[in-house]
Amino acid sequence: MNTMEDFFKSVLEQDRAPVVLCNLEHTVIYMNPAADERYKSRGGIELLGKSLKNCHTAYANEMIDKAILWFKASRANNIVFIFRNNEENKDTYMIALRDDTGNLIGYYEKHEYRTNETGNLYDMP
């Protein structure tokens, strides 16, 4: 019998966009295959268990800390636009992760690509 966790993990594993989950100590606790591939030059899956802050500039780390404080200030504060990549036509967001009671437990980086899909509907070669 599959658990809800199995389903959620499968959603993340199949996502074509990188997903990196961190706890409140900024430790990388999960990377999906797309994130492993995207961040290969920085160590890929070897980043698990390490601080996300080691991969960012001082300014980015300062902004991460500010976002965490903002997330903690209200349960309604859950998403922050953090980066626009025109070359890849994507926006990147930092998103709060909360437990069942609404307490902040971590965060993740979400990539949203703006390029229209070029494949045919239900194309299953």
The answer to whether residue 124 scores a pLDDT higher than 90 is no
CA distances to 25, 28, 37, 60, 76 from 40, rounded to whole Å, are 22, 14, 5, 20, 34
Q: What is the residue extent of each domain of the chain? A: 51-82
DSSP assignment letter at 44: G
| pLDDT confidence of residue 73 | 97
Residue-wise pLDDT for 7-45, tens only, equals 999 999 999 999 999 999 999 999 999 999 999 999 999
